[in-house]
Amino acid sequence: MGSERDAPAADRDADAGPPAVDLAGVSKHYDGTVAVEDVDLRIREGEFFTLVGPSGCGKTTTLRLIAGFEAPTEGRIRFGGRDVSGVPPEERNVGVVFQNYALFPHMTVGENVGYGLRFSEPPGGASRAERVRDLLDLVDLSGTADRDPESLSGGQQQRVAMARALAPGPDLLLLDEPMSALDARLRERLRLQVREIQRELGITTVYVTHDQEEALSVSDRVAVMRGGTPEQVAPPRSVYRRPASRFVAEFVGDNNVFEGVVAGTDDESAGGGTDSPARTVLVDIGGETLRVAVDEREDAATGTPGPGDRVTFCVRPQHLRVGRAENGLRATVASAEFLGETTRVHLDCDGRDLVVRAEDPLDGTVVVGFDPEDAHVIDVGD
């Protein structure tokens, strides 16, 4: 993966390789309604790139624009430097797997896979039968060519649809929420298999999902969409650890977001001495003063906030430690959810909702605190 330092909606580590897909200023409007707005994305050759976001954020429309099922209202789409904005889907050499798989019930599994070759000959000089057999082997469905698709499980049907999309040897594979209808355990198993197939073939893949965990687990990079525009584009660890906005912080996993005013600085407590890029600021969040470390190398987009600046920062639930006095906050247990390995505990801290992960049940009033280095500054304002 590329660098994990990123600015909001930046795509800086896309420059590490030639773009297989380049969206420049792409917008899509429907009768005055904005579905996608001024999207700039560069997707590298062989990359597994995921569009993630809530319903209506524009991720599926963006995928359809790449596939050619929709034409952009504004902007250009290029494959390997070639403008394909007016090229029909069947001439773009893309494979698409839809949410509902769209298998033909009157065809066998083998005929469904072979249908993907209707516009082209099998790659590599293989026969149609050989291509179908090889792809069924690839997706772990050997011996099913003569079966009825409706006799297969949902996960098996998903893999048949993927084999059909791969049949003509596309340059680009597009997956539109292909696992949303499957149960959680099957989704977890299949997403790993999809990732393995993608790596084995080295095919550039654009994946659409609303599931943040799915996006983080399989992707080289993730674009978190909001209101038709990428809010942040970065490797999964960056998106999770260093969200570029409050929306990303709250959408991708549980998070605790604080707002306050800088009351002063405490440079020495951040470690590294006066020459260190790490600085600690004292933030008044309304009667409580918390210490927040800021690393100027990693937080160049926000910089180090000064006295009087308003700041927004976040702390992940696993970094709030029960019984810790440093940066301590008193809170009352409101509810708890047992998740197996941990318990998600919801706290009421003077009207502020907090979430903490704990191994043991909590009750009554507790004190939770965090290391200054475990806080991440999202925004700085006057």
DSSP per-residue codes, 17-51: S-EEEEEEEEEEEETTEEEEEEEEEEEETT-EEEE
At residue 77, what is the residue type? Answer: I
When pLDDT is cut at 50, 70 and 90, the band that residue 50 belongs to is very high
Burial class (CB in 10 A: 0-12, 13-18, 19+), 253: middle
Average pLDDT score over residue span 363-371: 94
CA angle 207, 210, 215 (to 5 degrees): 50
pLDDT at 324 over 70: yes
Question: In CATH, what number does 256-381 get?
Answer: 2.40.50.140
Cβ distance 283 to 294 under 8 Å?
A: no
Q: Encode pLDDT of 230-283 as tens digits.
A: 999 999 999 999 999 999 999 999 999 999 999 998 755 444 444 555 689 999
190-203: per-residue pLDDT in tens? Answer: 888 899 999 999 99
Angle at 160 between CA 158 and CA 162, to 5 degrees: 70
CA angle 136, 198, 21 (to 5 degrees): 125
Q: Provide the pairing of β-strand 172-176 with 94-97.
A: parallel
Read off the pLDDT of each residue in 196-215 and give the average, rounded to a whole number. 94
State the pLDDT confidence band at 18, using cuts at 50, 70 and 90. low
Q: Which residue spans of the chain are classified as CATH 2.40.50.140?
A: 256-381
Q: Classify domain 12-251 at the CATH topology level.
A: Rossmann fold (3.40.50)
Range list for CATH 3.40.50.300 in the chain:
12-251
Q: Which of 222, 226, 225 is nearest to 214 (CA)?
A: 222
Going by pLDDT thresholds of 50, 70 and 90, the confidence category of residue 14 is very low
CA atoms within 13 A on the CB side of 216: 14
